[in-house]
Amino acid sequence: MLLQDLVETIERLKARLAAHNADLRVNETRTRMALIDPMLAVLGWDPADPSLVIPEYNPQGGRDRADYALMHPNGHPIAILEAKKLGESFETHLNQMTSYANVAGIAYAGLTDGRPER
């Protein structure tokens, strides 16, 4: 990843956010596709590569799933990422994110609504 690629991606996502703000607040899937997936890709976590990113990660076989597991080359998850629709409050989802990481035995977890500044 080049720093220039990251800067260009952030600028592109800011423009997308400004142009489609209302549409991206409709649901989490729109936010993921338009904002989160492109940012993951530029950071080296290609969401289309199952060796790097596992969507809807289910570590214990239950019904609860983390939105993304970021994978280590050894095949084990190293981070959990929870996605929320644009503008959704994080307060009510912190426990969910922490729970997913704890169940999976993962030390790193994140929560995002796709905004570059959050």
**What CATH number did the domain enclosing 27 receive?**
3.90.1570.30
pTM across the whole model: 0.90
Question: Is residue 58 domain-resident?
Answer: yes
pLDDT digits (tens, 9 = 90+) for 59-97: 777 778 999 999 999 999 999 999 999 999 998 899 889
What is the Cα–Cα distance from 86 to 25, expressed in whole angstroms? Answer: 5
pLDDT digits (tens, 9 = 90+) for 8-65: 999 999 999 999 999 999 999 999 999 999 999 999 999 999 999 999 999 777 778 9
Question: Is residue 118 domain-resident?
Answer: no
Number of domains in the chain: 1
Question: Is residue 31 domain-resident?
Answer: yes
3-state secondary structure 46-105: CCCCCCCEEEEECCCCCCCCEEEEEECCCCCEEEEEEECCCCCCCHHHHHHHHHHHHHHC
Q: What is the pLDDT of residue 1?
A: 61
Question: Is residue 35 domain-resident?
Answer: yes
